[in-house]
Amino acid sequence: MAVDGELRDRIIGLQRKRDYRGAIALVEEGLALRPGDPFLLGEEVFLLLRLGRAAEARRRAEERLDVLGRDRFFLKTYVSVLTKLKAAADLEAFIDSRLLAGGAAPDEDVLVFACRSAASLVGTAKAAGFAERALALLPRSRALAALVAELRGREPPVDEPGRCRFYRERFSGKKPAEAIAEIESLRALPKMAGDRALLKVLAEMYKKEGNFAKAAEVYRAVLVAGDELFTRKMLGFVLYRLGDADGALACLGPCFVADPGDAVVRRAVFSILKKRGDREGLEKLVREAVGAHPEATHLLGLLQKARRWKESSGTS
Protein backbone atom coordinates (compact mmCIF):
# COMPACT_ATOMS: atom_id res chain seq x y z
CA MET A 1 0.00 0.00 0.00
CA ALA A 2 1.32 3.43 -0.92
CA VAL A 3 2.36 5.86 1.80
CA ASP A 4 -0.06 8.68 2.59
CA GLY A 5 1.48 11.27 0.26
CA GLU A 6 1.67 8.89 -2.67
CA LEU A 7 -1.90 7.75 -2.15
CA ARG A 8 -3.09 11.35 -2.09
CA ASP A 9 -1.31 12.10 -5.32
CA ARG A 10 -2.86 9.06 -7.00
CA ILE A 11 -6.34 10.06 -5.85
CA ILE A 12 -5.81 13.65 -6.95
CA GLY A 13 -4.44 12.49 -10.30
CA LEU A 14 -7.58 10.42 -10.96
CA GLN A 15 -9.80 13.34 -9.97
CA ARG A 16 -7.89 15.54 -12.36
CA LYS A 17 -8.84 13.10 -15.12
CA ARG A 18 -12.42 13.05 -13.78
CA ASP A 19 -12.06 9.37 -13.08
CA TYR A 20 -14.17 9.56 -9.94
CA ARG A 21 -14.82 5.82 -9.86
CA GLY A 22 -11.12 5.06 -9.87
CA ALA A 23 -10.50 7.74 -7.23
CA ILE A 24 -13.15 6.43 -4.85
CA ALA A 25 -11.80 2.89 -5.24
CA LEU A 26 -8.43 4.16 -3.99
CA VAL A 27 -10.12 6.08 -1.18
CA GLU A 28 -11.95 2.97 -0.01
CA GLU A 29 -8.74 0.97 -0.24
CA GLY A 30 -7.00 3.55 1.91
CA LEU A 31 -9.83 3.67 4.46
CA ALA A 32 -9.58 -0.09 4.94
CA LEU A 33 -6.09 0.48 6.36
CA ARG A 34 -6.53 3.97 7.82
CA PRO A 35 -10.21 4.31 8.75
CA GLY A 36 -9.69 7.56 10.64
CA ASP A 37 -7.72 9.48 8.01
CA PRO A 38 -9.44 12.93 7.71
CA PHE A 39 -8.43 13.44 4.08
CA LEU A 40 -9.84 10.07 3.01
CA LEU A 41 -13.03 10.51 5.05
CA GLY A 42 -13.78 13.88 3.49
CA GLU A 43 -12.73 12.80 0.02
CA GLU A 44 -15.10 9.84 0.06
CA VAL A 45 -18.10 12.10 0.71
CA PHE A 46 -17.00 14.49 -2.04
CA LEU A 47 -16.52 11.69 -4.57
CA LEU A 48 -19.86 10.06 -3.74
CA LEU A 49 -21.51 13.39 -4.48
CA ARG A 50 -19.62 13.69 -7.77
CA LEU A 51 -20.76 10.19 -8.71
CA GLY A 52 -24.40 11.14 -8.19
CA ARG A 53 -24.75 9.08 -5.00
CA ALA A 54 -25.94 11.99 -2.89
CA ALA A 55 -28.02 9.93 -0.45
CA GLU A 56 -25.05 7.73 0.35
CA ALA A 57 -22.80 10.80 0.58
CA ARG A 58 -25.20 12.26 3.13
CA ARG A 59 -25.21 9.12 5.25
CA ARG A 60 -21.40 8.95 5.30
CA ALA A 61 -21.11 12.67 6.00
CA GLU A 62 -23.47 12.56 8.95
CA GLU A 63 -21.48 9.71 10.46
CA ARG A 64 -18.41 11.97 10.33
CA LEU A 65 -19.73 15.37 11.41
CA ASP A 66 -18.20 15.11 14.86
CA VAL A 67 -14.80 14.15 13.42
CA LEU A 68 -14.69 16.60 10.50
CA GLY A 69 -16.90 19.32 11.94
CA ARG A 70 -14.20 21.97 11.59
CA ASP A 71 -12.99 21.02 8.12
CA ARG A 72 -14.04 23.78 5.70
CA PHE A 73 -14.04 21.59 2.60
CA PHE A 74 -16.08 18.86 4.32
CA LEU A 75 -18.67 21.30 5.68
CA LYS A 76 -19.16 22.90 2.27
CA THR A 77 -19.45 19.46 0.70
CA TYR A 78 -22.12 18.50 3.23
CA VAL A 79 -24.06 21.69 2.44
CA SER A 80 -23.80 20.79 -1.26
CA VAL A 81 -25.14 17.30 -0.49
CA LEU A 82 -28.19 18.68 1.34
CA THR A 83 -28.74 21.18 -1.48
CA LYS A 84 -28.50 18.44 -4.10
CA LEU A 85 -31.08 16.38 -2.17
CA LYS A 86 -33.30 19.48 -1.79
CA ALA A 87 -33.38 18.79 1.95
CA ALA A 88 -34.53 22.30 2.83
CA ALA A 89 -35.58 21.66 6.43
CA ASP A 90 -32.39 19.74 7.18
CA LEU A 91 -30.18 22.42 5.66
CA GLU A 92 -32.02 25.06 7.67
CA ALA A 93 -31.56 23.05 10.85
CA PHE A 94 -27.87 22.45 10.11
CA ILE A 95 -27.16 26.15 9.62
CA ASP A 96 -29.20 27.10 12.68
CA SER A 97 -28.03 24.46 15.15
CA ARG A 98 -24.49 23.83 13.91
CA LEU A 99 -22.96 26.68 11.94
CA LEU A 100 -24.59 29.50 13.93
CA ALA A 101 -24.65 27.82 17.31
CA GLY A 102 -21.44 29.39 18.61
CA GLY A 103 -18.75 27.41 20.36
CA ALA A 104 -16.00 26.91 17.77
CA ALA A 105 -14.84 29.99 15.86
CA PRO A 106 -17.18 30.49 12.89
CA ASP A 107 -15.73 30.16 9.39
CA GLU A 108 -16.59 33.05 7.07
CA ASP A 109 -16.34 31.08 3.83
CA VAL A 110 -18.52 28.24 5.13
CA LEU A 111 -21.16 30.67 6.40
CA VAL A 112 -21.29 32.59 3.12
CA PHE A 113 -21.50 29.36 1.13
CA ALA A 114 -24.21 27.90 3.37
CA CYS A 115 -26.35 31.04 3.45
CA ARG A 116 -26.11 31.45 -0.31
CA SER A 117 -27.00 27.78 -0.84
CA ALA A 118 -29.95 28.12 1.52
CA ALA A 119 -31.48 30.92 -0.53
CA SER A 120 -32.57 28.53 -3.27
CA LEU A 121 -34.15 26.06 -0.82
CA VAL A 122 -35.61 28.05 2.08
CA GLY A 123 -36.06 31.42 0.36
CA THR A 124 -34.10 34.64 0.38
CA ALA A 125 -35.83 36.01 3.48
CA LYS A 126 -34.74 33.12 5.70
CA ALA A 127 -31.32 33.00 4.07
CA ALA A 128 -30.90 36.73 4.75
CA GLY A 129 -31.83 36.10 8.38
CA PHE A 130 -29.11 33.45 8.61
CA ALA A 131 -26.62 35.80 6.94
CA GLU A 132 -27.47 38.57 9.42
CA ARG A 133 -26.90 36.21 12.33
CA ALA A 134 -23.60 35.15 10.76
CA LEU A 135 -22.63 38.80 10.37
CA ALA A 136 -23.34 39.31 14.08
CA LEU A 137 -20.79 36.58 14.80
CA LEU A 138 -18.27 38.10 12.36
CA PRO A 139 -19.11 41.82 12.34
CA ARG A 140 -16.02 42.75 10.30
CA SER A 141 -16.83 40.35 7.46
CA ARG A 142 -17.26 42.30 4.24
CA ALA A 143 -18.36 39.17 2.38
CA LEU A 144 -21.24 38.56 4.81
CA ALA A 145 -22.22 42.24 4.78
CA ALA A 146 -22.37 42.16 0.97
CA LEU A 147 -24.41 38.94 1.06
CA VAL A 148 -26.92 40.44 3.50
CA ALA A 149 -27.31 43.45 1.21
CA GLU A 150 -27.77 41.19 -1.80
CA LEU A 151 -30.35 38.95 -0.13
CA ARG A 152 -32.26 41.92 1.28
CA GLY A 153 -32.34 43.54 -2.13
CA ARG A 154 -29.97 46.32 -1.11
CA GLU A 155 -27.15 45.99 -3.59
CA PRO A 156 -23.79 47.31 -2.35
CA PRO A 157 -22.36 50.31 -4.18
CA VAL A 158 -21.21 49.44 -7.69
CA ASP A 159 -19.04 51.55 -9.98
CA GLU A 160 -20.67 52.84 -13.13
CA PRO A 161 -18.86 51.30 -16.14
CA GLY A 162 -17.41 54.55 -17.47
CA ARG A 163 -16.53 56.22 -14.19
CA CYS A 164 -13.01 54.81 -13.78
CA ARG A 165 -12.30 55.56 -17.45
CA PHE A 166 -13.48 59.12 -16.91
CA TYR A 167 -11.07 59.69 -14.02
CA ARG A 168 -8.18 57.97 -15.81
CA GLU A 169 -8.67 60.22 -18.85
CA ARG A 170 -8.98 63.28 -16.63
CA PHE A 171 -5.61 62.65 -14.98
CA SER A 172 -3.84 60.92 -17.88
CA GLY A 173 -1.68 63.92 -18.80
CA LYS A 174 -0.49 64.58 -15.28
CA LYS A 175 2.48 63.19 -13.38
CA PRO A 176 1.52 60.76 -10.59
CA ALA A 177 2.41 63.23 -7.81
CA GLU A 178 0.33 65.97 -9.40
CA ALA A 179 -2.65 63.66 -9.97
CA ILE A 180 -2.41 62.35 -6.41
CA ALA A 181 -2.50 65.86 -4.95
CA GLU A 182 -5.59 66.72 -7.00
CA ILE A 183 -7.42 63.48 -6.23
CA GLU A 184 -6.65 63.75 -2.50
CA SER A 185 -8.21 67.25 -2.59
CA LEU A 186 -11.31 65.84 -4.26
CA ARG A 187 -11.39 62.96 -1.81
CA ALA A 188 -11.63 65.44 1.07
CA LEU A 189 -15.03 66.61 -0.21
CA PRO A 190 -17.88 64.83 1.63
CA LYS A 191 -19.65 63.81 -1.59
CA MET A 192 -16.45 62.34 -3.05
CA ALA A 193 -15.09 60.52 0.00
CA GLY A 194 -16.83 57.24 -0.84
CA ASP A 195 -16.39 57.41 -4.63
CA ARG A 196 -14.87 53.99 -5.26
CA ALA A 197 -13.93 54.76 -8.86
CA LEU A 198 -11.96 57.83 -7.74
CA LEU A 199 -10.26 55.83 -4.99
CA LYS A 200 -9.27 53.07 -7.44
CA VAL A 201 -7.61 55.59 -9.72
CA LEU A 202 -5.88 57.16 -6.71
CA ALA A 203 -4.50 53.74 -5.75
CA GLU A 204 -3.26 53.26 -9.31
CA MET A 205 -1.46 56.62 -9.13
CA TYR A 206 0.22 55.68 -5.86
CA LYS A 207 1.41 52.45 -7.48
CA LYS A 208 2.81 54.40 -10.45
CA GLU A 209 4.66 56.58 -7.97
CA GLY A 210 6.00 53.49 -6.25
CA ASN A 211 4.22 54.20 -2.97
CA PHE A 212 2.71 50.76 -2.40
CA ALA A 213 1.97 51.37 1.28
CA LYS A 214 -0.35 54.26 0.37
CA ALA A 215 -1.85 52.22 -2.46
CA ALA A 216 -2.71 49.49 0.07
CA GLU A 217 -4.29 52.05 2.37
CA VAL A 218 -6.49 53.36 -0.46
CA TYR A 219 -7.52 49.88 -1.62
CA ARG A 220 -8.62 49.14 1.95
CA ALA A 221 -10.76 52.28 1.80
CA VAL A 222 -12.34 50.98 -1.42
CA LEU A 223 -13.23 47.72 0.32
CA VAL A 224 -14.80 49.60 3.22
CA ALA A 225 -17.01 51.41 0.70
CA GLY A 226 -18.04 48.06 -0.85
CA ASP A 227 -16.41 44.65 -0.96
CA GLU A 228 -15.50 43.08 -4.28
CA LEU A 229 -13.06 40.42 -5.42
CA PHE A 230 -11.30 42.66 -7.95
CA THR A 231 -10.21 45.14 -5.28
CA ARG A 232 -9.26 42.31 -2.94
CA LYS A 233 -7.03 41.03 -5.73
CA MET A 234 -5.43 44.44 -6.28
CA LEU A 235 -4.82 44.83 -2.55
CA GLY A 236 -3.40 41.32 -2.42
CA PHE A 237 -0.86 42.08 -5.16
CA VAL A 238 0.18 45.31 -3.43
CA LEU A 239 0.64 43.53 -0.09
CA TYR A 240 2.61 40.81 -1.88
CA ARG A 241 4.87 43.52 -3.30
CA LEU A 242 5.29 44.94 0.23
CA GLY A 243 6.33 41.53 1.56
CA ASP A 244 3.19 41.06 3.67
CA ALA A 245 2.63 37.40 2.83
CA ASP A 246 -0.15 36.89 5.41
CA GLY A 247 -2.14 39.88 4.19
CA ALA A 248 -1.60 38.97 0.55
CA LEU A 249 -2.77 35.41 1.10
CA ALA A 250 -5.86 36.59 3.04
CA CYS A 251 -6.83 38.68 0.00
CA LEU A 252 -5.77 36.36 -2.80
CA GLY A 253 -7.00 33.08 -1.28
CA PRO A 254 -10.71 33.92 -1.80
CA CYS A 255 -9.90 35.20 -5.32
CA PHE A 256 -8.20 31.89 -6.10
CA VAL A 257 -11.26 29.94 -4.93
CA ALA A 258 -13.70 32.24 -6.74
CA ASP A 259 -11.83 32.29 -10.07
CA PRO A 260 -9.58 29.24 -10.57
CA GLY A 261 -8.80 30.40 -14.10
CA ASP A 262 -6.86 33.49 -12.98
CA ALA A 263 -3.28 32.40 -13.63
CA VAL A 264 -1.71 35.48 -12.03
CA VAL A 265 -3.52 34.89 -8.74
CA ARG A 266 -2.74 31.19 -8.94
CA ARG A 267 0.99 31.84 -9.33
CA ALA A 268 1.06 34.34 -6.46
CA VAL A 269 -0.79 32.03 -4.06
CA PHE A 270 1.42 29.09 -5.03
CA SER A 271 4.56 31.19 -4.56
CA ILE A 272 3.54 32.33 -1.06
CA LEU A 273 2.69 28.82 0.09
CA LYS A 274 5.80 27.35 -1.53
CA LYS A 275 8.04 29.70 0.44
CA ARG A 276 6.34 28.50 3.60
CA GLY A 277 6.35 24.85 2.59
CA ASP A 278 2.63 24.89 3.40
CA ARG A 279 1.31 22.01 1.32
CA GLU A 280 -1.67 21.60 3.65
CA GLY A 281 -2.71 25.22 3.09
CA LEU A 282 -2.49 24.77 -0.68
CA GLU A 283 -4.47 21.55 -0.48
CA LYS A 284 -7.30 23.26 1.41
CA LEU A 285 -7.54 26.07 -1.14
CA VAL A 286 -7.42 23.68 -4.10
CA ARG A 287 -10.09 21.44 -2.62
CA GLU A 288 -12.34 24.44 -1.97
CA ALA A 289 -11.84 25.75 -5.51
CA VAL A 290 -12.50 22.37 -7.12
CA GLY A 291 -15.49 21.85 -4.85
CA ALA A 292 -16.97 25.16 -6.03
CA HIS A 293 -15.82 24.69 -9.65
CA PRO A 294 -15.73 20.94 -10.49
CA GLU A 295 -14.45 21.73 -13.98
CA ALA A 296 -11.25 23.26 -12.52
CA THR A 297 -9.47 19.91 -12.27
CA HIS A 298 -6.31 21.55 -13.65
CA LEU A 299 -5.73 22.83 -10.11
CA LEU A 300 -5.10 19.31 -8.86
CA GLY A 301 -1.77 19.40 -10.66
CA LEU A 302 -0.63 22.06 -8.18
CA LEU A 303 -0.74 19.50 -5.39
CA GLN A 304 1.53 17.16 -7.31
CA LYS A 305 3.97 20.05 -7.87
CA ALA A 306 3.71 20.97 -4.20
CA ARG A 307 4.71 17.47 -3.16
CA ARG A 308 7.85 17.73 -5.27
CA TRP A 309 8.93 21.15 -4.01
CA LYS A 310 8.17 20.16 -0.45
CA GLU A 311 10.39 17.11 -0.74
CA SER A 312 13.17 19.07 -2.41
CA SER A 313 13.04 21.79 0.28
CA GLY A 314 13.46 19.21 2.99
CA THR A 315 10.33 20.28 4.90
CA SER A 316 7.97 17.77 6.39
The 3 state secondary structure assigned to the chain is CCCHHHHHHHHHHHHHCCCHHHHHHHHHHHHHHCCCCHHHHHHHHHHHHHCCCHHHHHHHHHHCHHHHCCCHHHHHHHHHHHHHCCCHHHHHHHHHHHHCCCCCCCCHHHHHHHHHHHHHHHCHHHHHHHHHHHHHHCCCCHHHHHHHHHHCCCCCCCCCCCHHHHHHHHHCCCCHHHHHHHHHHHHCCCCCCCCHHHHHHHHHHHHHHCCHHHHHHHHHHHHHHCCCHHHHHHHHHHHHHHCCHHHHHHHHHHHHHHCCCCHHHHHHHHHHHHHHCCHHHHHHHHHHHHHHCCCCHHHHHHHHHHHHHHHHHCCC
Considering only residues 140 and 19, tell me which one the structure prediction assigns the higher pLDDT: 19
Taking residues 252-280, report their average pLDDT: 91
**Do residue 106 and residue 214 come from a single domain?**
no
Shared-domain flag, residues 199 and 302: yes
Report the number of distinct structural domains present in the chain. 2
Residue 157 lies in a domain: no
Q: Is residue 158 part of a domain?
A: no
Q: Answer yes or no: is 10 within a domain.
A: yes
Residues 284 and 233 in one domain: yes
| Residue 154: predicted pLDDT | 56
Over the stretch 11-57, which tens digit does the pLDDT of each residue have? 888 888 889 899 999 999 888 888 888 888 999 999 999 999 999 99
Domain annotation covers residue 218? yes
Assess whether 133 and 35 both reside in one domain: yes
Pair (86, 129) in one structural domain? yes
- Asked whether residue 175 falls in the same domain as residue 309, the answer is yes
- Please tell me whether the overall predicted TM-score, pTM, comes out greater than 0.85 for this model: no
Q: What mean pLDDT do residues 66-89 have?
A: 91
